[in-house]
Structure 1
Amino acid sequence: MGEETRAQFDRVAESFVERGAKRSQMFGMPVLKIRDKVFAGTYGDAMTFKLAADDVAAALKLKGVEPFEPMPGRAMKGWVMVPLEHSKRWPGLAEQAWTFLK
């Protein structure tokens, strides 16, 4: 994970930690949890989000956004991977994920 990705993730994470989210690890990468469920995290130079079906469909319309596949060919249901180029959208997507799992 690059420095810019880490900095952007940390900015997003701070606002959710203040609201009760916990920082943790998944696949060796930083993630955010609510009630022991991961709702957002990093993977390489992207952030991943667990979203409702309608939000997944909308996110996948963005250039470069893909279903999250930590193992090729095995997409995690409801998860999207959003590249750093869309980091301005990360806070809103994290909010959608938080709301979905809260």
Structure 2
Amino acid sequence: MPEDWWEDLVERSCDGDVTAGSMFGCRGLRTGRRFFAIRWHEQLVVKLPAGRRDELVAAGQAEPFEPMPGRRMNGWVLLGGSVARAPVVDEARAWVESQQ
């Protein structure tokens, strides 16, 4: 995975409605005041609707996000390396925007 993947994602995503910020001491992307993607220990975590999360987990492309063992963060998944990030980040953004 290229070193600059996060910077590329931020550059591609930030557009006035989306800004970079910090969540739990991690770098993240938010729309308005709500985050939809964060960089967690060199991995990408996104917030998605339940059906899409379940689909990615069942396909082995993501796993439920637990920032601390045994403490799942509701609505968030940790993406695996085989999934195309940009389209999933776009889905996450659209999902969070629809919830505001």
Fold match, TM over 0.5? yes
Answer yes or no: is the 8 Å Cα contact 2:37–2:45 preserved in 1.
yes
Aligned-residue offset at 1:20 = 2.0
Say whether residues 1:65 and 2:62 are aligned partners.
yes
> Aligned AA for 2:35?
V
Following TM superposition, the consecutive aligned residue runs of length 4 or more in structure 1 with deviations greater than 6 angstroms are none
The counterpart of 2:39, out of the listed 20, 39, 42, is: 42
1:29 aligns with 2:54: no
TM-score of the two chains, using structure 2 as the length reference: 0.85
Q: Is there any run of 5+ residues in structure 1 with no aligned partner, and where?
A: none
2:84 aligned residue? 89
Percent of pairs with identical residues: 26
Q: Please give the secondary structure, in 2, of the residue aligned with 1:60.
A: helix
Deviation at 1:62, TM superposition (A): 3.9
Q: Flag the structure with more relative contact order, 1 or 2, with Cα contacts below 8 A and sequence separation at least 6.
A: 1
* Matches of 2:94 and 2:28, distance apart in 1: 16
Deviation of 1:69 after TM superposition, in Å, equals 0.7
Counterpart of 1:98 (choices 85, 93, 99) is 93
CA contact (8 A) 2:17 2:32 kept: no
2:62 and 2:49 mapped to 1: Cα distance?
15
Residue 15 of structure 1 corresponds to 12
Q: Can you give the 5+ residue segments of structure 2 that lack an aligned partner in the other structure?
A: none
- Is the helix fraction higher in 1 or 2? 1
Partner of 2:48: 51
Helix, strand or coil: the match of 1:77? coil
